[in-house]
Structure 1
Amino acid sequence: MDILSVIGVLIGIGALLFGNFLEGANLNSLVNGPAFIIVFGGTIGATLLQFPPQIFVRSLRLGLWVFFPKKKDLTVEIDKIVEWSQLARKQGLLGLEDKIDSEPDQFIKKGLQLLVDGNEPEDIRDILELEINNREDVDLQGAKMLEAMGGYAPTVGMLAAVMGLIHVMENLSDPQLLGSGIATAFVATVYGVGSANLFFLPMANKVKTYVYASSQAREMIAEGLIAISQGENPRNIKLKLSGYLHERESVSL
């Protein structure tokens, strides 16, 4: 679990509630069913209209990365690549064939298969880079969906506020209905602006960070496999790949 994400959510919500308490209001003043339905229903509806189903589903999965990132230890991956390079120097590239079935990562498995099949280093690079770029593009589309929700929510909140004020104007002669209309107007604005700036936009940016880190990890693996195909010294391979660590030993994939 990403403890900073949890702390961020708690601090953000806590600050709003505590500030509301200091102003003398109670929690019920921020609870408004019609405003909630209009803002979040409208935001989801606009998002579904903009993005295809596969991007929507992918974005939901990526959203989980914010709180439950999948960590992969890069030092372990480097050690595996160095071990494979030593095995390849002793037994040839065909000696890596047994490693393919035991490798759980589909990207690495593809790279190993390309090695065993005797492809040229440039061909291996082209194939793996294509997959890296395509995966990054798809994942960034998922992050853009969260970003889009951060753009729609405040606008829909303003729309709900206008609807609430229209309701107020229609019932100026009935004071009992004025309160609910004004409450819907202002609470809807809070829902829209608050959800965008406390959840959707920060989540989108954090997902982007994980996507770029994931792509960099795959680039490291690709470079290692290409170095094996070129017959580089295992020690040199380890020195080259250690440059990808950048003072962090694990990334989210």
Structure 2
Amino acid sequence: MNPSTLLGMFFGLAIVVAAIGLSAEDPSNFLNLPGLLLVVGGTVAATLVSYPLHEVLRVFRVFGIVLKNERLYAERDINELVEVAKLKFQGQISRADEKLNRIKNPFLRSGMQMVLDGASSEDLITLMQWRISRMRARERAEAQIFRTMATFAPAFGMLGTLLGLINMLSAMDADQFGAIGTNMALALITTLYGILLSNMLFKPIALKLERRTEQRVMLMNMMVEGVLLMQEDRSPAFIRETLGSFLAQSEDELRDGERPSKRASGRRESPRRRPRQASE
């Protein structure tokens, strides 16, 4: 499981519960099932109107990805690429083909298969960059669904507020003073639910998915560079050193300018150009 996601959810929920417990005489007043149903149901309904059904259903799978601690296996991919490149460098094409079938990363496997099949550099770059762009577009669309839900949730909270106020005014006209408190609670609690769902669930998930996508794009660009080096028959040691430098540089960029780790700073800067970035 992803510790930061679980810790953030638990910590946020604990803060809300603690604030309610310390400020309210009866914490159960903050549990309003009609208000929660209005906000959650309205958000889901509006999302279904906005997106195709299969994209909305994919949200549940994406939410599972956020909860688990997904590894990107960059070191494993580098090792597998170098092993195949070594066999190709030595002229053992048949053994390289056998090794290629055991590679787990489909993106890396398809790129190296094109190299062994004699594809040109232009074809390699075109196909692999197209796959990167397609992956980025798909995962950005998944994150956008959560951003859309973050927009809808407060709106339906405000809708609940309007319904509660209308019911409250109707009860005042009919001298039903006992219903005034109930409707007022509905008017306020739905706004609370909408804000909480938007800012503690939907927006953080969208941000996490977008960051995950950028990490994957950087690693895929690193694989493109490695495949091109393999096609140029560069030595396996040079390929390993170059990809290791790219990996360290990518990690530094994802840390937003933090000081590089000891492992990264120990590597020399490769003379090879930076990997080509996927088009938007």
TM-score range, shorter chain: over 0.9
2:101 aligned with 1:104, yes or no?
A: no
Q: Describe the SS at the equivalent of 1:39.
A: helix
CA distance 1:215–1:166, change in 2 (3 Å): same
1:203 is displaced (CA, Å) by 0.8
Percent identity at matched positions?
A: 23
1:109 is displaced (CA, Å) by 2.5
Q: Distance in 1 between matches of 2:235 and 2:104?
A: 26
Structure 1 counterpart of 2:243: 241
Q: Deviations over 1:20-66 (max 9, x none)?
A: 11113333111111101110111011111111233223333222222
CA distance 1:93–1:25, change in 2 (3 Å): farther
Contact 1:121-1:230 within 8 A present in 2 as well: no
Structure 1 counterpart of 2:162: 162
Contact 2:72-2:216 within 8 A present in 1 as well: no
TM-score of the two chains, using structure 2 as the length reference:
0.84
Structure 2 counterpart of 1:226: 228
- Amino acid of the residue matched to residue 127 of structure 2? I
- Amino acid of the residue matched to residue 25 of structure 2? A
Give structure 2 stretches of 5+ with no counterpart: 255-280
Mean CA deviation greater in 197-206 or 115-124: 115-124
CA distance 1:77–1:40, change in 2 (3 Å): same
Structure 2 counterpart of 1:2: 2
Higher relative contact order (CA 8 A, sep 6+): 1
1:240 is displaced (CA, Å) by 1.4
1:229 is displaced (CA, Å) by 1.0
Q: Deviations over 1:149-203 (max 9, x none)?
A: 1111001100111111111111111012112111111110110001100110011
CA distance 1:110–1:25, change in 2 (3 Å): farther
Instruction: Report matched runs for 1:120-135 at 5 Å.
Output: 120-135=120-135
Q: How large is the RMSD of aligned CA atoms in angstroms? A: 1.8
Contact 2:84-2:100 within 8 A present in 1 as well: no
Q: Which residue of 185, 188, 213 corresponds with 1:186?
A: 188
- Amino acid of the residue matched to residue 103 of structure 1? I
Contact 1:157-1:189 within 8 A present in 2 as well: yes
Q: Which residue of 194, 197, 200 corresponds with 1:198?
A: 200
Contact 2:80-2:103 within 8 A present in 1 as well: no
Structure 1 counterpart of 2:266: none
Structure 1 counterpart of 2:268: none
2:217 aligned with 1:208, yes or no?
A: no
- Amino acid of the residue matched to residue 63 of structure 2? G
1:104 is displaced (CA, Å) by 2.7
